[in-house]
Chain A
Amino acid sequence: MCLAIPMRVMEVDSGGARCEARGVERRVGLMLLQHEDIRVGDYLLIHLGHAIDKVSESRALEAWSLYDEILAAEDAARAGGSGALPV
Chain B
Amino acid sequence: MHRSADDLFGPAGGLLCRPGAARPDTLTDTRPDWTARLARGRLADPLPDAWAGLFSLCGDAHRLGSRLAIAAARGQPMAPSGAQRRAHARATVHEHLRRIWLDWPIALLAPDGPGSPGNAHAPARPDRAARVLSQYPGWRPDSAPAACADWIERELTGMPMTAWLDAWADDPAAWLTRWCEQPRTLAARCVLASRHACEPFMPALTDACMAVPALLPRLDRLSIAAWAAELSRDDLARARAARWQGGPAQTGLWTRLHRPSLRSGGPPWLALGARIADTIRLSLPTEQGSAGGDWLTIGAQGLGDGEGIAWIEMARGLLLHRVTLDRLDESARIADCRVIAPTDWNFDPDGVVARLIERLPPGNDETTLRGLRAVIAAYDPCVPVRISPAGAHRWADRDA
A contacts, CB < 8 Å to B = 1-7, 21-24, 26, 28-29, 31-35, 45-50, 52-53, 55, 59-60, 62-63, 66-67, 69-71, 73-74, 84-85, 87
- Residues A5 and B8 in contact, CB atoms below 8 Å apart: yes
Residue of A nearest to B11 (CB): A70
Residue of A nearest to B2 (CB): A23
- Residues B50 and A22 in contact, CB atoms below 8 Å apart: no
A68 CA to B10 CA in the complex, in Å?
Answer: 12
Segment at the A interface, from B17-25, B51-59, B150-158: B51-59
A2 CA to B35 CA in the complex, in Å?
Answer: 13
Chain B, residues 44-82, CB within 8 Å of chain A (1/0): the string is 000001101111111000000000000000000000000
- Residues B37 and A85 in contact, CB atoms below 8 Å apart: yes
- Residues A2 and B3 in contact, CB atoms below 8 Å apart: no
A50 CA to B56 CA in the complex, in Å?
Answer: 14
What are 22 A-B pairs with beta-carbon distances under 8 A?
A: A1-B35, A1-B339, A1-B343, A1-B382, A3-B9, A3-B11, A6-B53, A21-B8, A22-B8, A23-B2, A31-B130, A32-B139, A34-B139, A46-B400, A50-B102, A53-B56, A62-B49, A66-B38, A66-B53, A70-B32, A70-B34, A70-B38
B contacts, CB < 8 Å to A = 1-5, 7-12, 31-32, 34-35, 37-38, 40-42, 49-50, 52-58, 98, 102-103, 127, 130-131, 133-134, 139-140, 339, 341, 343, 382-383, 398-400
- Residues B38 and A47 in contact, CB atoms below 8 Å apart: no
- Residues A47 and B98 in contact, CB atoms below 8 Å apart: yes
A55 contacts across to B, CB distance below 8 A? 53, 56
Nearest 5 pairs of A and B residues by beta carbon: A87-B41, A2-B382, A4-B56, A63-B53, A2-B57
Residue of B nearest to A70 (CB): B11
Residue of A nearest to B99 (CB): A48
B102 contacts across to A, CB distance below 8 A? 47-48, 50
CB < 8 Å: which of A35, A74, A87 contacts B40?
A87
B2 contacts across to A, CB distance below 8 A? 22-23
Residue of B nearest to A25 (CB): B5
B4 contacts across to A, CB distance below 8 A? 24
- Residues A4 and B41 in contact, CB atoms below 8 Å apart: no
A74 CA to B382 CA in the complex, in Å?
Answer: 20
A83 CA to B11 CA in the complex, in Å?
Answer: 13
- Residues A48 and B11 in contact, CB atoms below 8 Å apart: no
